[in-house]
Chains A and B, each alone.
Chain A
Amino acid sequence: MKLYNESDHGTPAKKATSEVKLSVDGRVVSVPAGTSVMRAAAIAGIGVPKLCATESLEAFGSCRMCLVEIEGRNGTPASCTTPAAEGMVVHTQNERLKKLRRGVMELYISDHPLDCLTCSANGDCELQDMAGAVGLREVRYGYDGENHLKAKKDESNPYFTFDPSKCIVCSRCVRACDETQGTLALTIQGRGFGSTVSASQNQSFLESECVSCGACIKACPTATLMEKSVIDIGLPEHSVITTCAYCGVGCTFKAEMRGEEVVRMVPFDDGKANQGHSCVKGRFAWGYTTHKERVLKPMIRAKVTDPWQEVSWERAITHAASEIRRLQEAHGRGAVGGITSSRCTNEETFLVQKLVRAAFGNNNVDTCARVCHSPTGYGLKTTFGTSAGTQDFESVEHADVIMVIGANPTDGHPVFASRMKRRLRAGAKLIVIDPRRIDLVRTPHVEASHHLALQPGTNVAVLTGLAHVIVSEGLANEAFIRERCDFDEYLQWAEFVKRPEYSPEAVEKVSGVPAETLRGAARLYASGGNGAIYYGLGVTEHSQGSTAVMAIANLAMATGNLGRPGVGVNPLRGQNNVQGSCDMGSFPHELVGYRHVSDAAVRAIFDKAWGVKVDPEPGLRISNMIDSALEGSFKGIYIQGEDILQSDPNTKHIAAGLGAMECVIVHDLFLNETASYAHVFLPGSTFLEKDGTFTNAERRIQLVRKVMTPRNGYADWEITQLLSNALGYPMHYAHPSEIMDEIARTTPTFTGVSFDKLDRLGSIQWPCNDRAPEGTPVMHVGSFVRGKGRFVLTEFVPTDEKTGPRFPLLLTTGRILTQYNVGAQTRRTANEVWHPEDRLEIHPFDAEERGVKDGDWVKLASRSGETTLRAQVTDRVAPGVVYTTFHHPSTQANVVTSEYADWATSCPEYKVTAVQVSPTREPAEWQTQYARMSADQRKLAEPSK
């Protein structure tokens, strides 16, 4: 496959109710009203020379290359800023236009270095292209005049260089940062000839507000903004279209390669989720795939205190299989289990749960969604009938009121956040419910109408309070409820929410949200037009996480905000394939497609397909696996792509549980924290090294395509297959497409999915079957999946994690843009420069009271344990609340988090921990112990005999 170059029509497509017909150089073309003449020409097959115009950005009209002549109009208008009109007759090439374009180009080149042959954009430069297109042969001004050739390069950003000597001041970078990304970090400073691109207040890119999304580099037509990897390697020669492996947005990328070397990852313009945009992680932080710490050979050891021994694949697999069988023989079939990955492909995850169910013969399989969105699964299944979000990302463009609850999209889902910000800049209103003042509350041209800065742990009170206002002020959409929900259930629920304990005044006492703010938010959501709710782990990771999800569903149903674009309940799924992992039956109580194991008809399908008898009883969840391990009945585990020791709560408990097991098999890229307790290490493959599919937060299944041979020797699905065969359960898939075919054969929501169709359509949003052969963008149109929507009473039950004199503050946690989850990947890239450590955000009052200054080391202690990290004094958090991220294992944040969890799904209550903060001069004991152990664990044994 050659290098894929999307066509660039110059200006964005316009949606219109009418079309206009015009002629360009004699070719007749019809376009929607409002389309530019340039775009009309491009559609007609004529490329008008251009430099400042590019399809992703609104027309600017500054380069003056695209001049055309229009019959009946004076002069030579710019075709990019001239709308096509009915009956227009356009000429794009004649003597006058040729002379003018050459004249403009002559000016450009009079202030441009002449080092094309050694320039990093050689062969990929629009200025070069245009100079050629207009036939420039001489620059009569000479090269001794005023120029910018001595301007200094800015190489501060680890991933790209800014070389102003090559800048043609087309402002594409500024406009990209404004329109596409929405950060507005760039501007043109000075005026006239002295105009230069400036990052923030004329700072280096690294010091500025730039979030390193790469949009400016993609937009830049010259070498001015260029990836360092291209400068180092040269231009790529072929591209492979694949899906990012970081977050749940699921950006489509072109992996631009030279041979098997990735030159750069460029966001794909036709990507349905990202539309040509990306964030720093997917765009640049893929270096972990070739990091020196990557384990490439299988390793085994008898005891976890032994150093690792490198062995052959055959030896490792045989050993793992025999250990599993031994433990089952000694302790029963249910003594072993598996954990699937939310970052591996659907096909790989399907194989792991199949391995557990068919080869192990039990239902002890779970996934990381346990600790993030399992309440979403429970809550939305109960109320709507589906364990997934109701909309696609495009839906946000039709929203009038956007309510963001317990999510920080500019950090966690940056590319989607940019789309959301664009809609907010265009006039949609914003409500934010979060203890912390996240960036979205006040960001360039965006300001929340209401920020409900509630106390951690009071979500259900606030959400039910919103319902109270909506019902008691008559703002409910009765017509919708009558048609789509059980009306009696609604009446019961309405009576419940109207209780005085859910009045804004009562809720204020419990949550700290001023009554008037609560009222304002409720009224705005209920009557502001299309109301869309986006929520994240700030909703789910609580002892009432499932209740909160149901409360959200209640609000959407009560206001009729479901079943069409612009509304809905949208869980922002965190990881690239956490949605897929849940879809694939990774939960101990569900088979593929969210069907309970107790359903005999469903089991029959799999019994037949797999040739086994699937266990009808629910299996162990991760926390239960740990408990059972300590109890003595759970002995072996196969963990693919998951680091439970770093990401699960109550680290000491997890460590104890792992320590009590006899065979821990870790299948991962790096020696992570869990591997410290492993007996078998199977090196995994990255997303660049395998074929398969990921499913993003929109239920959108997208292809992952292999760009290079797996450095570890096998794709992850091949490894699971090896293990299965070694266990005596045959698996002979030749290609992941066969796995997907099996999924399609056995799952009603997936019947129409195949790799061929994915290739043809680009992506498919499930359900995809006879009723919806090309997939389903918006769900519950007409009726809910379960028939009638269900209103559930959501009583506020405060968490048992209480503050007190010993632990007077509440800790909540979150993510940051540049690091990803436990940082396994991003810590092994240059992203470290932005977030080399986790910091504790603490309010100035609390800090002063404790004698803590910004940057000081503090001890963070809870009933579960303590750790140390450095303080960041800020008023983003309210007094009484502290906040940290969990990207660095050295922080050991989960030593501190409590044992409490969601009542329905056991999703840990990461977001509410009672803590105390005090200045300290040394790391906590656990941290020192841990650092020592981690260092020991990295040692390898002498080569085995």
Chain B
Amino acid sequence: MSASAAYDEKLVYMANQIARNFSIHGEEKAVASTLDHIRMFWDPRMRARILDHLRAGGVGLEPTTRRALELLSLAATE
């Protein structure tokens, strides 16, 4: 796997991990918390990169994570 693909995989893993740890609060809250967390703690480049990955199909993203990123993507365009 290329270094680039490995990096994407890592970001996907990290995002999924955040969502998984919020999942106990229920779907709605998990999505909101995941979105919040990524906004608060991820550097813009990282956010941009995972959004690119989302737009390119988002391989590996769990449903909650995907929804959170979709919201992030919307916010980014506003």
Contact = CB atoms under 8 A, between A and B. Distances in A.
Judge A-B direct contact (beta carbons within 8 Å).
yes
B43 A624 contact: yes
A544 B22 CA distance: 12
B3 A588 contact: no
A797 B21 contact: yes
Interface in A608-625: 617-621, 624
Contact of A903 (B7, B21, B24): B21
B7 A630 contact: yes
Contacts of A589: 40-41
B24 A624 contact: no
Contacts of A620: 43, 45-46
Given A334-B45, A624-B43, A904-B37, A543 B17 contact: yes
Given A630-B3, A630-B7, A795 B23 contact: yes
B21 A795 contact: yes
Nearest to B8: A631
Contacts of B21: 544, 547, 795, 797, 903-904
B4 interface: yes
Contacts of B44: 334, 617
B18 interface: yes
A389 to B, nearest CB: 22
A566 B56 CA distance: 55
B24 A631 contact: no
Contacts of B45: 334, 620, 628, 633
Given A624-B46, A631-B3, A793 B25 contact: yes
A787 to B, nearest CB: 19
A797 B21 CA distance: 7
Name the residue among B3, B20, B21, B49 with the largest chain A CB count within 10 angstroms.
B21
Contacts of B17: 543, 903
Contacts of A793: 24-25
A547 B21 CA distance: 8
A624 B4 CA distance: 13
Given A903-B17, A906-B14, A617 B24 contact: no
Interface in B31-75: 37, 39-46, 49
Nearest to B16: A903
A668 interface: no
A631 B40 contact: no
A496 interface: yes
B20 A618 contact: no
A364 interface: yes
A660 to B, nearest CB: 9
A477 interface: no
Interface in A587-616: 588-589, 596, 598
A588 B20 contact: no
A588 B10 contact: no
Nearest to A906: B14
A547 B20 CA distance: 12
A227 interface: no
A348 interface: no
Contacts of A631: 3-4, 7, 49
Interface in A543-598: 543-544, 547, 588-589, 596, 598
A364 B18 contact: no
A689 interface: no
Contact of A588 (B4, B24, B43): B43
Most chain B beta-carbon neighbours within 10 Å: one of A363, A598, A797: A797
A691 interface: no
Interface of B: 3-4, 7, 10, 14, 17-18, 20-21, 23-25, 37, 39-46, 49
16 contacts: A596-B40, A619-B43, A621-B43, A624-B46, A628-B43, A628-B45, A630-B3, A631-B4, A631-B49, A794-B24, A795-B24, A797-B20, A903-B18, A904-B18, A904-B21, A904-B37
